[in-house]
Structures are given as C-alpha cells and as structure tokens.
Amino acid sequence: MIAEHLDDPEDGFGLQQAVLEEVASGGRGPTALAWTSSPYLGVTRSETLLPGFGEAARTAESLGIPILVRNSGGGAVAANEGSISFSLTFPVRDLRHGLYERYTEGVDLVASALQRLGVPAEGGEVEGEFCPGAHSVRSGGPRGVKHAGLAQRVTRRAARLEALILVAQTEELVRVLQTFYGTLGLPFRPDSIGDLPATVPRDPPGLAAIFAALTRGYPEKRKREVAIRGTILGAVILLIFAFAGDALLGALGIGLPAFRTAGGILLFLLSLDMIFASPTGLRSRTVREQEEISYEHDVSVFPLAIPLIAGPGAITTVLLYTGGRDLAGTAVFVGVLLAVLLITLVALLLASRIMRLFGETGSNVLTRVLGVLLAALAVQFVFDGLESILA
C-alpha cells in the first residue's frame, strides 16, 4: 500500500500507527508505506522535556514549519516535499530477537536503492548529523552527507521499520534543523545533509569508450553526426520525462522495471555483435560502400540515445528529481541536465581521437572487451528489472 503526497504530515504518522495496530491484531499482513508531505519538524518525546524546547519550537515555527511529536527514538528530523517517508510493518513473535537484524537489513535496502541511482551509499554514522545514530545511510564517509535515517517502533505483536530519505529541496531543512538544534545547544553540521547528486546520464568517459567501439569504421563525418543526433535524441527523451514522465508511463501502462528489462535484452544482442563480429567479404569495401553500410546501421537512436544516454537509471533520476517540484525547481534541474549532456557530447566527439592512440590491434581488443562489459551491463539491467517485477 502506498500513500502518495499528503497535505498534512500528521496524516502520514496517523496512517503508520493505524497500520501498526492492524498488523499487530492480525487484521493486516506485512505492509509497506511510502509518502511525501508538506514540511514539518518531527521531534521526539524526550526532546520535549529538554530545557529550552519551548523556545526552540517557537523559533522553528516562526520559519513556517509545524512541530510534530513522533513515537520513534533518536532526535529531531525535518522533511518536506523533497523527502520520502518509507516504512515496512510486519508481525513479530518475540520482541527480544530481530531488532538489530531489521536495522541492518533496512540500511542495506536503502543503500542498495541509492547505489542504483549512482550514489555511493553505505551505512554508518555522520559527524554532526540530525537524529544521530548508528543506523544512518551516508556517502562520503563520517564527514560526508547523511541521505537517510532509520528508526523502529515495536509493539508486542508487530514491528515497524521506517526510513526518512532526503532526496531534494534540503536547503529548507538545513535552516530548520540548524535553528532547532542550535537553540537546544545540540551539535548539528549544516553540510551533513544535501540533495542527492544528479546522476544523469551515464558517465561521459565510459559512454565515450562504448561509443568509439560502436562506431568503429565509420567515417569521421558520420561519427560526428551520430554523436550529435544521439545526444539530442537522448536530451529530448529525458526532457519529455522531466515534464510529463509520470503521466506518459501511466497512460501507456508501462513500469520502469519492464522498461529496464527490455532495454537489457536489446543491449545484450548488440553486445554479441561487438564481441563476435568480423568482416567476411571476399574483397575489402570501398569508402563509399562503408559509408552506405554505416547509414543503414544507425546507432544514434539505439543504443546511444536510449538506453545508454536516456536509460532506465537516468529516467528514474529525472522522475525522482522533478516529481512534485515547482517550475523554478524543475528549470534548475533541467539546466544541470543540459550541462551534463553537453559534457557527454564533447566526450563523444573526442572518442575517435582516443581510439587512434590504441592502434588497429588495440582497437580490436578494446572493442571486444567493451562488448563483454556491455553484455554484463545488459544482464544487470535484466536482473534489476526482473528483481523489481518479482519483488
């Protein structure tokens, strides 16, 4: 069960509590909740007893942020439309067992999800973090950025593992947390939280190497045309998903897992050509014949534009960053996206010069090695898609 955006954050906390009680009574099985809401500051009951809490609460509320008291332990958390609240509630038989195992599994789950978006996430504490604890998801080590925090609520018959994941719009949260923790005299490092890095499209150097292998034998003019056309098509696809992605996928009834699986199968077939292809003609082709063949085998649409530039990971990131944002926020993200695409185009245009450094034999070896890597990437696409479908 997923509750999408909630205008009142108290509805989210109330829904989680209602689900916990239903699961504990046996009226409901294991349940997952995911929701976003308007801004709030969630404090713990122990914090409400601290000297200076009243002043800290009034200061936070002066910023337009309502105060909510949550049942979980730890410390104060802040969230807004750029944050995702996620919880898993399931029945338990023995309160004495499984507590730390659930924390470990939850951290691994969130970290794995972020890693698929290109974030080098791991479990561990962050210096000066909000709601300090051992069960945080971070990147950049102990002095890095906290992306998510986990907590548990356990009753006699059920347990709820919950996570707050900070995706975007964290500038507002920094101000609120800095004010609240500062008023209470508690440590908080402002740069301990931040937006998830935009990881679209695939890294330009790696993409350039694959592009060089795919267009080997093309005339230089043709390579430039393919690079420019593929980048433009990839940009158009990503921009469409930025402004109308959710509506488009919903209208077609297509999920991203199916998209990822199909793209992986097609990429795998292409990788086989890169690994095993060899010229079999009795005579060498003229330059004109080679040019005609290259036009027939146009890689600008597939696989360059999609899925290498506008692949499932890039599209997922675009949907994640633009969903629920106003026009100004979307415009900023689109500006970053276009800058990355421009860097990608430059890398593609320079790819042939890099390949010339390897020579003929080196190029043959590199083409087949990259074909194997592309096959592995394709298989991973299929595995990820099937895992999401079967989950």
- Residues tagged active-site: 131
The total of other beta-carbon atoms located within 10 Å of residue 270's CB is: 17
> What is the residue-wise DSSP string for 341-369?
HHHHHHHHHTHHHHHHTTHHHHHHHHHHH
> Looking at this protein, which amino acid is placed at residue 293?
I
The letter for the amino acid at 287 is V
Q: Collapsing DSSP states into helix, strand and coil, what is residue 72?
A: coil
Residue 305: DSSP 8-state: I
Nearest residue to 171 via CA among 39, 337, 322:
39
Which conformational region is residue 219 in: left (phi greater than 0), alpha (psi within -120 to 50 degrees), or beta?
beta
Structure token digits, residue 190: 């402002």
Among candidate residues 13, 30, 21, the one with its CA nearest the CA of residue 151: 13
* Beta-sheet pairing, 136-139 with 145-154: antiparallel
Contacts of 118 (CB under 8 A, 6+ apart): 197, 199, 313, 317
Could you give the C-alpha distances from 84 to 49, 54, 170, in angstroms and in order? Answer: 28, 28, 12
For residue 139 the two structure tokens come to 């990147």
Instruction: Kindly write down the DSSP assignment for every residue of 86-149, as one continuous string.
Output: EEEEEE-S-TTSSHHHHHHHHHHHHHHHHHHTT---EE---TT-SS--S-EEEESSTTSEEEEE
